[in-house]
Structure formats: structure tokens, C-alpha cells
Amino acid sequence: MTTRGSAPIAVALDASDVETAASWAHAVTPHVSMVKVGLQMFCRHGPDVVAVVRGGTGVGVFLDLKLHDIPVTVAGAVRSVARLRPRILTVHATGGAAMVRAAVAAADETAEGGTDGLDIAAVTVLTSLTAADLGAVGVAGALPDAVRRLAVLAVDAGARAIVCSPQEVAVVRAEVGPHVKLITAGVRPVGAAVHDQARVATPQRALDDGADLLVIGRPITAAADPGAAAAAIAATLRPRPRS
């Protein structure tokens, strides 16, 4: 999952302006493997923001658009953003197996055209949601079961990566095996505010439970020195044993 031999962290660049996002990216890239561009930045500043935050560093870009539409539309969107050369692009697993298959097929087409490998990552259940929230929208059963079912659906449809909260990563890892990349949002260092995240864990706990990439935003970007904050978190991480 990593692209620079640095810590398995994707820093979420949720800034209000491109200049700030670029400054954060420049500060953290010596210490982390990826930077993440989300829907807010992409919609506000357009596709060019990807090149701006990448700069000349070659850091991997995680394009977190959470696509969710009919299969043909999602496939077209994947083809459209592939020219930006992201390493990861998210879709919602709740879009269904046909949609995930269409996204993966479109990503594979771009790879054959010479684009560096693009992994489609299927988002299971947003880390802001609780079991009560799922029940309110008609999803029955325990929340970890919903995450597990969506992860299996997406992997069976060809997704090579899954996004889940750190609280479900062990369940998902046991279900999908060692070769699927697991990305965890809602990662918070000890003592950090949880903000709008409902299901969180520490970075090391997420790695120990089977995560490959940790998405961390405000604990790094809200620090007085984002580069130092990224370096400090990276320094605490121990690689999990590989079976």
C-alpha cells in the first residue's frame, strides 16, 4: 500500500484552500506514504488540486470521492479521474456488486493504458455512523456484521482494498484474508479528540488488528507543526507481524 517506504499513514488534507493543503502535504510527505484528497477539496478546487498536493515529491495520492451511482456512471467517473494518477480511489460498497465490478474494470482499463496501478477501495460503513444510525436507514443487525457483509460483497466483486473503522478491521481481516488491503479511518492517537468520528482506535491498535493504511487528519493537520506531528505518530508505529 505504501509508496515511499514511510509510515503507513494517509494524511487527510481537509483544508479550505489549496495553499494550506499544499503546505501540509509538503510538511508531512517525508514521514508518511500518502496524502488524501477528499470530496470537499476536489469539489471546491477541481482536479488540479491533485497535482498541487502531489507536488514534485511523488507521494501517493488517495482520492477519496466515495463514488456511488449506477455502474455505467461510476465506471465513467473512474476513467475520468484516472488521468490524475491517484493510487487509491474510493467507491461505496453499498452501491452494490455490479457497481464495484464496473469501477474495478474501469480502473484496470486505465492500467492497461499505461497508468500506474489504481486500486479501487470500497467503503463499508462510514466511521461517523453508529448502530442506531444504521437502524434508522433500515440496515438490520449488528454494525460489525454489516461491515463484514459489505466487505465480502466488494471483494467478491473485485475490490482490492476495503475501508472500515479500526473497530471492525480485525473482523474484516479474518473474513477477507491477508491479500486485501485494509484502510482504516477514524484513527486517533491517545488523548486526541474524536471530533465527528463514532468508531475510533489508536494507530497501533489498528495496525495490530490488521490495517495496512491509517487515515489520519486533524491530529496531524491541526497541530502547530504538521510535519512534526506526522513524524511523532510515525515514530510510535511498530509493523504488525506478517503470517
Task: For residue 16, give Cα distances in angstroms to 41, 89, 220.
Answer: 7, 21, 16
The phi and psi torsions of 149 (rounded to 5 degrees) equal -60, -45
Rg (the chain; Cα; Å): 17
Write down the catalytic residue from 4, 23, 26, 66.
66
AA identity, residue 57: T
Q: Any catalytic annotation for residue 66? A: yes
Active site residues: 66
